[in-house]
Amino acid sequence: MPFNRLIKLTVLVITITAVSILPFSPLQDRAIAKSPDYKELRLFRQVMRIVQKNYVKDVDDKELIQGAINGMLQSLDAHSSFLTEDLFKELQVETKGEFGGLGIEITLDNGVLTIVSPIEDTPAYKAGLQPGDKIIKIDGESTKNITLLKAVKKMRGPKGTKITLTIMRDGFKKYKDFSVNRDIIHVKSVKSQLIEPNYPYIRVVNFQESTESDLKAAVKNFGGDKDIKGMIVDLRNNPGGLLDQAVKVANLFIDDGLIVYTDGRVKDQRMEFRATRGGTHYKFKLAVLINEGSASASEIVAGAVQDYDRAVILGTKSFGKASVQTIIPLEDGSGLRLTTAYYYTPLGRHIQKTGIQPDVDLKQELEKQADDEEAADSKGNNKKKKKNRFPQPTVDVEKDLVVKRALQWLKSDVNVKEFKLENQKPVADTALNIKTDE
């Protein structure tokens, strides 16, 4: 999902058709004049005339109107916006695993431009940018009141060119500049390794067109259900991607029922995505890892396997991105990007801004581990070798606390339902009060 490509719904095309224009009668004029919409539009026109006449500089009518439209949409939520012709063209970039830029997923958090997650092996990842970082400036220019798409446009550029992001992060006493070299982003969606005999580890970096097939190939390489006793799927710092791939990945572990659904005011936005009984369905034990950088498609997969007791979820609470944006083209080549629905887990959990709560929340243990390592580094006068908080290309079970705990559970005789009953996790209490799809 850069540009929140998570949900690819049918594009609504607005066309203006030629019709006969009938003259208004005085009664019609008076009826329109009394309508609330007319009064507000009259106020808008009055303000526009005042600006045109009295503002310190000459202003273009088109810019004024587009600015007003954009302000209206931005007042709705962080993800709705007006798309100029240039910005609308930006949305034609497809999720085929290759695009220009830095390799980060961004959002607006209470109006502040915020990094959801850097994508693994990209310039942003290598520069040390982290989930939750606040982008205060881009090349020295303030990001105050910036739209998401304008921010994306500023960050894109020719391969090899440099951009400076001014970052504020929890723990920073003042802003810090990060220089990042733009590059063509080649994303390898799935990475895997065998951490112990019969226990593979699969990291899903993002959800793109090949994710399901890449994951199936990795599982096949490890022997499938015949040889695998338990598997870890790591979705940490996975910012999302394509909805259909999230559904297909979840379907590998869920053989029947609802996987995710969307709900909005318009009937066309109410959609259900169900598991298919045919095809490949794995039966081995499953552990799924999430953190604050797991968003959108990652949350669909984690939420689905959690609701069906198909996996134990470990890590920290996910980001909480569960809104659906529909792109609506307009006749002049511009468009609207409008939030039209929210998506929900099979048990009806609405996770926008709340995220997925893991069955095993390791936040405190991870913070303690980080503090202990920092203290050890300080004593050893080795401050430069700070621990990288991102999942590494090759996982070390002894150093990665979340992977270690996942492996311990996979090797135990305790199944998912028994584990949840023993640990009495909040998600179980939440599910009791929600209707299922049946």
Catalytic positions, please?
Answer: 296, 307, 321
Cβ count near 200 (within 10 Å): 23
* DSSP one-letter code for 357: P
Pairwise CA distance, residues 129 & 146, whole Å: 20
Name the E strands within 119-206: 134-138, 141-142, 162-168, 176-181, 183-186, 190-196, 199-204
Residue in the block written with tokens 């500023």: 154
DSSP string, 8-66: -PPPP---PPP---PPPPHHHHHHHHHSHHHHHHHHHHHHHHHHHHHSSS---HHHHHH
Angle at 433 between CA 428 and CA 435, to 5 degrees: 105
Question: Among positive and negative, which fits the CA dihedral 277, 296, 117, 359?
Answer: negative
The tokens for 328 are 């609506």
Q: Could you tell me which residues are beta bridge partners of residue 118?
A: 104
Partners of 312 in the β-ladder: 287
Q: Which residue has the tokens 């004593």?
A: 379
Alpha carbon distance 120, 127 (integer Å): 11
Within 8 A by CB and 6+ apart from 267, the residues are none
